[in-house]
Amino acid sequence: MLKENIEKSENFWKHSESALLGGVYLILITCGFLRGFRVGVSGPASEFRPIVRFLGTDLDGSLKVPYALAAVKGIGVMLGYAIARAAGVDTEKRLGFLSEEELRKLEEVARDPLGHGIPAWMLNRRRDPATGKDLQLYGSDLVYAIREDIQREMRIKSWRGVRHSLGLKVRGQRTRTTGRFGTAVGVSRRRQ
């Protein structure tokens, strides 16, 4: 019964601009009631993909492009918007509705952000100590680079390196009450 009513009102769903109805429409697509329609877009039908592979990470296809890209380690929402705009992809689209060509363009921009007009201050590894270049790292490359930076600080015995090696707070926080080691030692009452 529900499926028949939905199929009768395909035009209503296709031309709905309301965010609430768009969300309901998206739920109906993911549940499998409506197949082959795009949210708020008329034209040729496209299949919705609930999970999209991007830069070695599985992303949620139901999220808007910048927010979905932010799930990749090394990309925040702001950089996600910049990548989408540089690639010419609508930032209001859901990631699961993007074509292979649009995903390829997004990945191309993400791999070389400086070459596509994204400013250097948005990158996560500026003036790399080894090469001196501005880089954007993702996933395990970013984790490895940060670990290497900490190891270098410990090796040269800088203040930060010493704090890291002792397992203490590094950024000047107070340590009188927080960040203590071991179990709590209770106060014993004096015998009477």
The CATH label, of 3.50.50.60, 1.10.8.50, 1.10.10.10, 3.40.30.10, for the domain at 49-122 is: 1.10.8.50
Does the pLDDT at position 20 exceed 70?
A: no
- Counting Cα atoms < 13 Å in the Cβ hemisphere of 151 gives 6
Mean pLDDT (the chain, rounded): 81
Residue 144's identity, in one-letter code, is: Y
Cβ neighbours around 138 below 10 Å, total: 18
| pLDDT tens sequence across 90-109 | 999 899 999 999 999 999 99
pLDDT average, residue stretch 36-48: 53
Distance in angstroms (rounded) separating the CA atoms of residues 121 and 134: 9
CA quadruple 24, 27, 5, 99: dihedral sign: positive
Assess contact for 118 and 82: CB atoms under 8 A. Answer: yes
Residue intervals of the chain classified under CATH 1.10.8.50 are 49-122
